[in-house]
Amino acid sequence: MTAINPFTEQLIAWQKVAGRHDLPWQKTRDAYRIWLSEIMLQQTQVSTVIPYYARFLESFPDVRALAAAPIEAVIEHWAGLGYYARARNLHRCAQQVVAVHGGKFPDSAEELAALPGIGRSTAAAIAAFAFGRRAAILDGNVKRVLCRQFGIDGFPGSTAIDRRLWALAESLLPDDNIEVYTQGLMDLGATLCTRSRPRCADCPVAGACVARREGRQAELPTAKPRTRVPERQATFVLFTDGQRLLFERRPPSGLWGGLLVPPEGEPAEVAARLGLEIGEIQPLPPLKHAFTHFRLTLVPMLCRVTAQSGVAERGCEWVEIVRAVGAGVPTPIRKLIRQVASAGG
């Protein structure tokens, strides 16, 4: 047995006493539930995930139920969580687990990482929590912890620093208590070693932390080199008959893939394409929304429909305004719907 690193030993002891133990996906070896939580937690806070996780399990209690569900239902349950490729990959992964693995998740990190939407770090977390496998995680929170603790300079997203961090993460793995250690890393990054205002006084490994000793908590990890974020603008036409709104379903891939959105384009052109006759056109306040790689200004136009023909044949569907906020729509579109509701439809 190899000697345990002091960082690892202290983290395990701290997690057992002060870590999180009451999250809804803890205290289970069910790989399906653990996988679902890990995918939802990618780039999303625990407090946001918990209600989505509960609702998913109500509708899709196991991997076979999820695999058999229509993708539209999965997307609708995901609406509001963002990063919608995760939902599409979730569905594909469930189908592959059923078709290739007989409905059981493989128990090694390597096999898990080969499934849709499961990267190396997520695979390691699933393998550790569901099967007790010894594998290293390295998500954004863990990178921050390691960069501060060991004084690692350089942007973690660069190839060289990423490789160095993976080697370090592997070297810190304990021979035993892998689940406790893995949870401890997650807990430390999420609750104490946060991006801003880290609680160093409460940290179990602060004594050896390079960032704390040198007063560099705000500098580490090194920020990504700044680049100009592209700006885009799009007009969305909110057609209404007073009680309902008209939506189109996006293609399965791409921005907001599989979700319902109002038709995009100039009102008169869109109305002609959809066979609609419109009356009053009311501009609504523009809305800015930031994506990972660009910023979008949504320009909403509320249009009263006076007559229609052939809309259903054109792949559109009417949704009651009171139901639209809870439908499978992206977050910024949900905000536009609330504008319509406040404007009285």
Q: What is the pLDDT of residue 112?
A: 98
Q: Over the chain, what is the mean pLDDT?
A: 94
Q: How confident is the model at residue 143 (pLDDT cuts 50, 70, 90)?
A: very high
Percent of the chain topping pLDDT 90:
82
> Residue 199's domain spans which residues?
6-214
CATH code (residue 299): 3.90.79.10
Would you place residue 2 in the very low, low, confident or very high pLDDT band (cuts 50, 70, 90)?
low
Distances (CA, A) of 309 to 80, 152, 189: 32, 63, 55
Contact 88, 258 (CB under 8 A): yes
Q: Which residue has the higher pLDDT, 312 or 18?
A: 18
* Residues 240-270: tens digit of each pLDDT: 999 999 999 988 888 898 899 999 999 999 9
33 and 179 part of one domain: yes
Model pLDDT, residue 313: 64
The pLDDT, as a whole number, for residue 308 is 83
Query: Which residue, among 213, 197, 196, has the nearest Cα to 205 in the 3D structure?
Result: 213
Which residue type does 114 have?
A
**Residue 317 bears catalytic tag:** no
How many Cβ atoms are within 10 Å of 106's Cβ, its own excluded? 19
Residue 183 has pLDDT above 90, yes or no: yes
**CA nearest 329: which of 319, 344, 340, 315?**
319
Least confident of 138-152, 237-251, 302-316: 302-316
Residues 264 and 177 in one domain: no
Tell me: pLDDT of 312 over 80.
no
pLDDT at position 140: 95
Write the CATH number for 165: 1.10.340.30
Cα 177 → chain centroid: 28
HSE at residue 96, side-chain half, CA atoms within 13 A, is 16
Question: Same structural domain for residues 282 and 190?
Answer: no
Where does the pLDDT of residue 330 fall: very low under 50, low under 70, confident under 90, or very high at 90 and above? very high
Catalytic annotation, pick one of 38, 76, 179, 248 = 38
Shared domain for 78 and 191, answered yes or no, is yes
Count the alpha carbons within 13 Å of 102 in the hemisphere toward its beta carbon: 1
Q: How many domains does the chain have?
A: 2
Give the model's pLDDT for residue 12.
98
- Is residue 144 in some structural domain? yes
Q: Helix, strand or coil for residue 97?
A: helix
pLDDT at 339: 84
Q: What's the pLDDT at 257?
A: 87
Residue 191's identity, in one-letter code, is T
Asked whether residue 112 is domain-assigned, the answer is yes
Write down the pLDDT at residue 1.
54
Instruction: Give domain status of residue 222, yes or no.
Output: no
For residues 167 and 270, membership in a common domain is answered with no
Q: Is residue 227 part of a domain?
A: no
Identify whether residues 114 and 255 lie together within a single domain.
no
